[in-house]
Every structure is written in structure tokens, then in C-alpha cells.
Amino acid sequence: MRFGIVTFPGSNCDYDAYQAVVETIGEEAVYLWHKDHDLKQSDVIILPGGFSYGDYLRAGAIARFSPVMQDVIAFAKRGGPVLAICNGFQIACEAGLLPGALLRNASLKYICEFVRIRVESNDTTFTNRYAVGDIMRVPIAHGDGRYTADDETLNRLEGDGRVVFRYAGGPADADEWWSPNGAMRAIAGIVNETGNVLGMMPHPERAVDSLLGSDDGLRVFESMLARIGV
Amino acid sequence: MQRLHSVEPRPGDPAITPALIAEHGLTVDEFDKLLAMLGREPTFTELGIVSALWSEHCSYKHSRPLLRTLPTDAPYVLQGPGENAGVISIGDGLAIAFKIESHNHPSAVEPYQGAATGVGGILRDVFTMGARPIAMLNSLRFGSLDSARVRYLFAGVVKGIGDYGNCVGIPTVAGEVAFDPSYEGNPLVNAMCVGLLHENELIRAVAQGVGNPIIAVGARTGRDGINGASFASEDLSAESEAKRPRVQVGDPFTEKLLLEASLELIRSGAIVAIQDMGAAGLTSSSAEMAARGDVGVTIDVTKVPVREEGMTPYEILLSESQERMLVVAKQGRENEVTAILEKWDLTAAVIGEVIAEPVYRVTEGDRVVAEFPGIRLVTDCPVYTPEAYESAEVVRLRAIDVSQVAELPEERDPLWTLKELLSSPTIAAKTWVHRQYDTTVRTNTVIGPGGDAAVVRIRGTERALAMKTDCNGRYVYLDPRVGAQIAVCEAARNVACTGGRPMAITNNLNFGNPKRPEVYFQLREAVRGMGEACRALGTPVTGGNVSLYNENPTGAVYPTPVVGMVGLIDSIAHITRSHFQEEHDVIVLLGEPDRNIGGSEYLSRIHGMVAGPPPACDLDGERALIDALVEAIQGGVVRSAHDCSDGGLAVALAECCIMDRGAQRGATVDLKHWRELPARALLFGEAQGRVVISTNMPDTVLSIAKNHGVPGRIIGQVGALDAPLHITTVANELSAPLAKLDEAYHEAIPRIMSRAAVVSP
């Protein structure tokens, strides 16, 4: 099984995603250069975190027009699985692969910390190894992570069970909805209508080794292997 | 002697007048030296070049003789001072490049860009050695947060550091922030970068090979930051605000491209040298690379890619536009260089070449606009050893018997004092700061900000690096020699607390105006103390930075020789955290308290006093403590280890209880053994050489300590989650619910920062 990891010039989590794939589930990973129209026969595409083209305009606004994204969009439309993390989530929204947008954090500050998120749906390519209600401890690291959409979209996402992760409680309270960035309905991750594109602000690839504070993100990769594994 | 071209003034150049010379920061003697070197009047362009290269910032003219006294050797040092960064071997063919640098003056007038470009500059210093940056640290000093202007500077600096490092994708893992009125108007912003390389990819910034092309790569040259190096070499004043345009503007996205392109360039083998165009831009990078290689160079400014039309040679040479590199390529391989830069959408332009003739020559097309003999431009720079004597005021302050300071009525409750100290911004948790830094990118951060030292694992090996910056400017002010010794020892202790063996340091000497004898005395004595401590601990200095003229209209900042220490942890299994881990573990204090409260945070915070002698520093004792600590940790008998520093033993114990908000544990501590000591000295005195350890094998810890001649004593036991902290002395008892300590420690800075900042002066 081959994971294609897109490298935009300002990607900086491509390496982390690569290591997570290779070191944890032992699968093959290749980098996909933003200027190429070549997905290298990847079975899964990861849009990693970072600052694609500097993101001075609006996170992901330029990336959606890059050569590689035309192929990624076509791949996703054919049902190919795409894991879009952080900046990748922003790009996926800009590219129309996912509904809604990610605005500047409510605090107007960049936030990096471990947060707790709750698995809201395990009926996906990316979360089938979790139970609904599982609490994961994963890092976030973003300035623009406030998920925003109109009520109709939010209602549809919830109605369809497409909210996959929600920020969960402070340190002691896992039941209270709470988001560090002001995300609407505490949404941390969603899938598209066909379930093959997951966008999430937290970084599962940074939570695959307990030495670094958590391995709660490991099952995201194991889920993909279980569902897509070739 | 080499015959020089006669260099005619360029049309439109201002006449060289005494006023113009003074404006360029050259003294009459220095100008005479320049005349003697050239054998003629300099042109305006030449005056600008010399002004930059002979500025304090580039030339270290007041510090060089002192810096030479520092130890720089160890078997594992691959590159000592004089390069873009120091390099040490860590075994298995791997090496670490690291350096610290200041951006104080720019940050004082434009905190966001000043701090951001400071991060950019130190990143480039590290990746131009062939190293991939793996961690950033920073050491910050500000005035009192009660001032709205200081809150503006603090918020701007933190955001600038975060935005730059976050975008490039290098984790910011450690540092320290301290607040004191002495830094009012002249904050200190020191950034340190640590990079990892294969020893065989180490590259030095030495121009070599006659005929080799000199290539400008990266961003285009604009009119920003012109004369920045000179600006950083004078006192800050009311007029400094007007020099805001001298502050450069950073573009971290371009930096990221430059980082990747530079590492590819180095690996391609197509280049012989690479250097950041940092302070004094094209001028210093080209002159320094030529001087190191003892070769001549010629540069044509019309070939330099510029952002705007009509830039003069003077402007092009002295621009400090960011994210630019100067590369010496191998002749015939220019196309490879260009191809790599094109891949990263960066420009590359051949702007000159290495020549046999021993001159430093700048042309504008065919016209020679500046020419200096050989490498004398760098080597002829004057060196000063000014008069030095200790300030009578400091002598007086140090002699004050602070033990006579009457306690406040509130102090009858030691919990009140403890909470006051925990909420002092210098001691309080800095989560407000590092929450704005990406601390986990690159997935190697084992211990991030907030621990004794940061720990970053080295992927593919069993090892990890520990790193920390430290300096207590108050101690250095009261006794520069002892204060600087303590800075080294505290950094080493912090590294050792995580299980690291301290290896080497980089230093950032932040002082006032060296032409004042009191300041030069501080500099001289601090360097002496630093050298002594580095020798005692076996941690050579591999490079660093000197920032002088840190003054504002009310005087100099505290002398602040920041130490950036790097240590090696042999096995990731040895990585040790600061806070208590398990109920019933035994708490051991290594080292001894004493009766001195001089220079303490307690005196400053509770009594508004900076006086008395700072804590004593026993270098042999510190060495023994570190040896004992590392041995105990490697022996697997230490569950947590925390350095005892600002705020003393009571603060250290409280931090062990409450530091990790996810798992706060109480403790019961009995200090009645020290019945002779005044309770406040025992609880809040800052005696050095002490570490609080928790262990389930106290006998082994104590026997290891004893073998090293380190005093050790069982002082208590770790309690349950959320149990109180209870400390008993002969004189009093302190019983603290953790929630109260937590509130004092963790909420202090957020509460202050929720007040308004003044956005513009």
C-alpha cells in the first residue's frame, strides 16, 4: 500500500506524515512534488500541514490552483482516499473537497498544545479502529483552525454523521463540547459526502509514539490500512 | 604593498566630511586608520563598507580580546568560534550545529519584525553549516509587565518568534523569559538554533578557488535594513524610534525555501562555501568569506538582483534584506546551482568571483566603486581594551546586609510569600508564551517548554539532545564574575536534570555601552567567570554573539551573558522529567541550602530590593553534582529531577507538584534538619548547586551522591494526585492546597496579558 504525501514548498509536516506511515504501519510512502502532475500510483493521498505557499493571502487559497492539486481533486472525485491534516484541511476546503472554511482562531493567536478530541464516527476509512466516544490526546498547532460553515451545512454534516472528531472537554470533563480555536460545534474533523476525504485540524501523525506524549493517533493509520490495505 | 586602483567618487556621492564620518559611527582614530589602509580618501561607498564591518556588531572590537580567553576545545568540537555556527560531534557520524544570536535593538523599536528576523538569521547561520535545524530556543528579557508598552513589546516579540519559526516548521522547544525594570525600553531578544548534520556534510564559509563564481541566492535585495549593523552598535535613545525603517522585514516562507535549497546545494557538491547575508548584508558576507580563505574577491553590484530601480552601490552593499545567501560555487557548476534554486522558485545570480589578486573590490559595471587591500578590511579593524572599574553603586548594593531586611507582616504566612513568588512573571508558567510556538512539529520533541531543559530525540539512534538557555542578570549585576559562573552552571544543571551530559555552550553577551568603565568591567568579569565555569564543567564555547550598547535613557540593562547549553542523553530510556511522578516516591535534596538571600527573587518581589551578594558558586561542587546526577539517572534510580533556582527550594518543590497540569501531585516535606537557618533563607534563598529529586531508591541516590562528595538528604515524600503541598521548618509550617498554587503559577501571565497593550508608542 502506497501513501503519497504532497509536498508544497511550504509544507512542514510532510516529513512527520512520512515517518508516521513508514515507522508505525510499515507501509510505503512517497513524496509528491507540487509542480508535478504525478501521484505515483498512490493508494492514499495525504495533504500535510504547513504553510503551502506561505499562506499570506489565505491558508490554502493558492495551493488549490497548484498542478498537483488538479490530480488530487480528480483522485478524490474518483473516490480515492485523502487524509487532509491541518493546512491540508484548509486546502481541501479551498479546493471544494470539503464544505466550510477554517478561519483565524477565536483568540487571534496561534495555538500549539495537546488537546482531547472525541471520535464521533467510526464508520469511516480513517477511524474504523476506534470506538465512537473514544477520547484521543493529540496535538494541534495552527493559527487558522476555527471551523466555520452555515447552519444548513452544519446540520447536514451532523445529520449525515460526517462530523468525525470533536474537541472534547477540558482536562477533567470529556463530555462538555469545547474548542480551543472557537470552531463551530467544536468540530475538529469532517468527511465529505462520499466518506473518502477526511479533513482534521489536530495532527494524528504527531501522536504515534508515547515517548512524545501520545500514540492515540496511531489508529488513524491502522484504520486506513485495515480498510484500504492492498 | 599591493597597488590599489585610484577610486573616484561616484557622481552624486556626498562629500566625506567629519559630520558624515561621525554619522557612520567611525571615530577620528578609526578614520585615520582607514586613510592609512587606503593611502587616500575613501569614497562614500567605502566609508559605508567600513562603517558596517568595523561596527561593534560585526567586528567585536570591544570584546574580541576577552572572548579569546574562553575555552573552545574538546575532542568532540568540530568547529569552534569564527564560523556561522559551532559544531560538535555526537557520535555515529552525526554532529550538532548550534548558535545563539541577539536581535535586541530591532525588537526594541519593532518587536514583531525584530524578533521574527532574529529567528530567521539564526536559522540561516545553522543551515549554512549543512545542518537541518531541529530546534529553536529563545532567551527574552523585558521590563515590568505593569507597563502597557512592555506588554506591547512582549506580545509582539512572542508573536514574531512564533510566526516565523512556525511557518518554517522548526519546533521552538525551550527558553526563558524574565522581567525586570532594568530592561525597560531595551528588551533582550536572543534566539538559539540547533541543527543536525552528518559530519561529512559539514561545510564552512571559506571562499576558495580562483575563478570560482560568487552567487547571490534567495530573496532580492531591497532598501530595508540599511545600516542595521551600525544601528545595533549604538545606545537606544528617543531618536531610535525614527530608525524603525532600519529594521528588516522577514518572510518565513522564503526562508523555508532557502533552507531546503541550501541543504540541497550543499549536498550537491556544486558549491565550496555558503554564508548568510546577515548583518551588513553583502558586505560582511563577502568580506568575511574572503578573509577566511585569504583570497581576493570582486563583486559587480549591477548583477545583484534588486527589488527596485536606482539603488546605489552603497545601498546594495549595506542592505539587510532578509532571506539572502552568498554562495561560492565550483567553476563550471553554476547551472546546477541555478537549477536547484529554480526548483525552489528562488533566484540565483552570479555577481562576482574569487580572484588571485589580494583585493576586496566592488564595481558598478566597469567602474570601481570600492577597493580595499587584501583582507585588511577585516583584519585591520581596531580592537579596544577600555578602562574598567566597578561601579561604586554596585559595590554598595552588594555590601548591604540583606539578612537585616525586616519581614513584612504578610510574611508570617509563608504560603502568602510562596504565592507571591509563584505569580512573579519571571517564575510563573510561560504557557501563554509557548502555546504560540509550534513545539511538536518534526515529531521529535520529548520534553518541550516548561521542563528543566528541552529534550529532542535523534531519530534513528537511541540518543537524545538536551538543551537550555539560562542567565540571571540580577546576579551578574551584583557580581559579574560569580553571576556568569552561575549562568553556565545553571544551564548545565538543567541539562543534567533531564539526563543529559553537558557538552558545549554558545553564548550571547548582552551588555551596555562598553565605553563606560562600569560596563566594560561587567563584560570583562563576566567573561572571566564564564570561562572559569566552562573549564570546570568541561563545556567549551563554540561560538556566540556579543550585543553591546543595550542602554536606554535611564542606563544600561542588567549585564546578561546568556548561556545556551547543549547536552547529550545516551539513551532515551534515561530521559527524566521535572515534576513528581509517583505517590510515595521519596524526595531527596542534593546540595545544601544556606543563609544568603542576596540577589534573590524573594528580595526583589517581596521587598523591591536588588542587593546583597548573589549566591555563591562552587564550581567543583557543581561539577560533582552534575556527575552524581547523571550517574544516578543513568542508573535508573531517579524518577524526576528539578533544578532549584529562582525562588529557592519552596518554589522548586511547588513546581514539582504543579508544573504538569494534567497530573498534579502533592508532597510532604520536612526541612527541620536545617534548624540554624532563617526560615525565609531556607524556603526562598537561592543557594546554587541544588536539585530536587524524587526516587523510589533513595539509598542508591544518596550513596551515589556521597561517592561524588555531594551533600544529599531525604526531605519528604510525594503525595497523591491533588493532595496538598506541606512543608515544615523549625520556625513555621506551610500547607498549600495545589489549586491555590496552580492558580498563582499558571494564571499569573494570562491575567496580566488580558490587560490592554499600547500598540504604538
Give B537's contacts (C-beta < 8 A, 6+ positions apart). Answer: B488, B489, B492, B502, B619, B622, B623, B626
CA distance B615 to B486: 9
Question: What's the pLDDT score for residue A177?
Answer: 62
Q: Does A56 touch chain B (CB under 8 A)?
A: yes
Question: What's the pLDDT score for residue B761?
Answer: 42
Question: What's the pLDDT score for residue B239?
Answer: 67
Question: What's the pLDDT score for residue B450?
Answer: 93
Nearest-CA distance from B256 to chain A in Å? 7
How confident is the model over B574-626, as pLDDT tens digits? 999 999 999 999 999 999 999 999 999 999 999 999 999 999 999 999 999 99
Q: In CATH, which of 1.10.1380.10, 3.40.50.880, 3.30.360.10, 1.20.1250.20 is domain A2-228?
A: 3.40.50.880
Question: What's the pLDDT score for residue B8?
Answer: 84
Q: What is chain A written as a DSSP string?
A: -EEEEEE-TTB-SHHHHHHHHHHHS--EEEEEETT----TT-SEEEE--B-TT--SSSTTTTGGGSHHHHHHHHHHHTT--EEEETHHHHHHHHTTSSSSEEEPPTTSS-EEEEEEEEE----STTTTTS-TT-EEEEEEEES--EEE--HHHHHHHHHTT-EEEEEB-SSS-SSSB--TT--GGGEEEEE-TTS-EEEESS-GGG-SBGGGTB-TTHHHHHHHHHHH--
**B172-179 and B132-142 beta bridge pairing:** parallel
Q: pLDDT > 70: what percent of chain B?
A: 96
CB B421 within 8 A of CB B410: no
Q: What is B199-252 written as a DSSP string?
A: GGG-------STTPEEEEEESPB-STTTTHHHHTTS---GGGGGGGGGS----H
Quickly tell me which residue has 531541529 as its cell. B134
Which band of pLDDT confidence, cut at 50, 70 and 90, is reported for residue B236?
A: low
The continuous run of DSSP H or E covering B115 comes out as: helix B111-127
DSSP code of residue B383: -
Least confident stretch, B119-133, B238-252, B652-666: B238-252
The continuous run of DSSP H or E covering B335 comes out as: helix B334-343
Q: Is the pLDDT of residue B249 over 90?
A: no
Q: Is the pLDDT of residue B65 over 80?
A: yes
User: Which positions in chain B touch A203 (Cβ < 8 Å)?
Assistant: 440
How confident is the model over B522-563, as pLDDT tens digits? 999 999 999 999 999 999 999 999 999 999 888 889 999 999
Q: Does B168 touch chain A (CB under 8 A)?
A: yes
State chain B's mean pLDDT as an integer. 93
CA distance A37 to A33: 8
Closest CB to B443 among A109, A171, A206? A206
Give A42's contacts (C-beta < 8 A, 6+ positions apart). Answer: A2, A3, A4, A30, A32
ipTM: 0.96
How confident is the model over B177-216, as pLDDT tens digits? 999 999 998 999 999 999 999 999 999 888 889 999 999 9
Q: Is the pLDDT of residue B57 over 90?
A: no
Interface contacts (A, B; CB < 8 Å): 89
**Mean pLDDT of the region B247-255:** 87
CA distance B285 to B320: 11
**Mean pLDDT of the region B406-423:** 97
Which band of pLDDT confidence, cut at 50, 70 and 90, is reported for residue B2?
A: very low
How confident is the model over B454-478, as pLDDT tens digits? 999 999 999 999 999 999 999 999 9
How confident is the model over B316-326, as pLDDT tens digits? 999 988 889 99
**Which residue of A lies nearest to B661 if distances are taken between CA atoms?**
A171
Q: How many CA atoms lie within 13 A of B402 on its CB side?
A: 28
How confident is the model over A117-152, as pLDDT tens digits? 999 999 999 999 999 999 999 999 999 999 999 999
Q: Does B459 touch chain A (CB under 8 A)?
A: yes
Question: What's the pLDDT score for residue B11?
Answer: 86
Say how many C-beta atoms besides its own lie within 10 A of residue B328's C-beta.
Answer: 28
Q: At what angle do helices B517-537 and B480-497 cross, to 10 degrees?
A: 40
Distance of alpha carbon A113 from its chain centroid, rounded?
A: 16
Question: Do B253 and A212 lie within an 8 Å CB cutoff?
Answer: no
User: Which positions in chain B touch A10 (Cβ < 8 Å)?
Assistant: 167, 253, 256-257
Nearest-CA distance from B442 to chain A in Å? 6
Question: What's the pLDDT score for residue B130?
Answer: 95
CB A126 within 8 A of CB A223: yes
How confident is the model over B710-761, as pLDDT tens digits? 999 999 999 999 999 999 999 999 999 999 999 999 999 999 999 876 554 4
Question: What's the pLDDT score for residue B381?
Answer: 86
Question: Do B434 and A112 lie within an 8 Å CB cutoff?
Answer: yes
Quickly tell me which residue has 548591604 as its cell. B400
Asked if A93 is an active-site residue, the reply is: no
Which band of pLDDT confidence, cut at 50, 70 and 90, is reported for residue B4?
A: low
How confident is the model over A188-216, as pLDDT tens digits? 999 999 999 999 999 999 999 999 999 99
Asked if A86 is an active-site residue, the reply is: yes
Question: What's the pLDDT score for residue B1?
Answer: 40
- Rounded to the nearest 10°, the torsion over CA B339, B342, B344, B348 is 90
The continuous run of DSSP H or E covering B482 comes out as: helix B480-497
**Which residue of A lies nearest to B432 if distances are taken between CA atoms?**
A111
* Residue positions of B annotated with a catalytic role: 57, 103
Q: How many CA atoms lie within 13 A of B559 on its CB side?
A: 29
Q: Which of B563, B490, B750 is nearest to B139 (CA)?
A: B563
Interface of A with B in 69-108 (CB under 8 A): none
State chain A's mean pLDDT as an integer. 94
Q: Does B252 touch chain A (CB under 8 A)?
A: yes
Strand order in the sheet with A2-7: A28-33, A2-7, A44-47, A82-85, A197-200, A187-191, A163-167, A111-119, A135-142
Which carries the bigger pLDDT value, residue B315 or residue B278? B315
Distance of alpha carbon B530 from its chain centroid, rounded?
A: 14
CA distance A121 to B134: 36
DSSP code of residue B729: -
Q: Does B257 touch chain A (CB under 8 A)?
A: yes
Which band of pLDDT confidence, cut at 50, 70 and 90, is reported for residue B45?
A: very high
**Mean pLDDT of the region B363-371:** 93
**Mean pLDDT of the region B510-521:** 96
CA distance B513 to B531: 22
Asked if A203 is an active-site residue, the reply is: yes
- Nine-digit cell string for B741: 498554587
Which band of pLDDT confidence, cut at 50, 70 and 90, is reported for residue B229?
A: low
Quickly tell me which residue has 552588594 as its cell. B398
Q: Does B435 touch chain A (CB under 8 A)?
A: yes
Q: Is the pLDDT of residue A65 over 90?
A: yes
Q: Is the pLDDT of residue A37 over 90?
A: yes
Question: What's the pLDDT score for residue B348?
Answer: 93
CA distance B190 to B138: 6
Q: Is the pLDDT of residue B247 over 80?
A: no
Q: Is the pLDDT of residue B245 over 80?
A: no
Q: At what angle do helices B414-422 and B648-658 cross, to 10 degrees?
A: 70
Catalytic residue among A13, A34, A86, A94: A86
Q: Is the pLDDT of residue B235 over 90?
A: no
Least confident stretch, A187-201, B239-253, B632-646, B674-688: B239-253
Question: What's the pLDDT score for residue A121?
Answer: 97
**Which residue of B lies nearest to A15 if distances are taken between CA atoms?**
B442
Rg (CA), chain A: 16
Question: What's the pLDDT score for residue A10?
Answer: 95
Triad B82, B86, B90: Cα angle to 5°:
150
Q: Which of B165, B161, B140, B137 is nearest to B150 (CA)?
A: B140
CA distance A148 to A153: 10
Which band of pLDDT confidence, cut at 50, 70 and 90, is reported for residue B244?
A: low
3-class DSSP assignment, residue B410: helix
User: Which positions in chain B touch A143 (Cβ < 8 Å)?
Assistant: 163, 166
- Nine-digit cell string for A207: 501522536
CA distance B200 to B78: 11
- Nine-digit cell string for B674: 536545617
Least confident stretch, A102-116, B372-386, B388-402, B485-499: B372-386
Give B700's contacts (C-beta < 8 A, 6+ positions apart). Answer: B632, B635, B637
**Which residue of A lies nearest to B459 if distances are taken between CA atoms?**
A19
CB B320 within 8 A of CB B281: yes
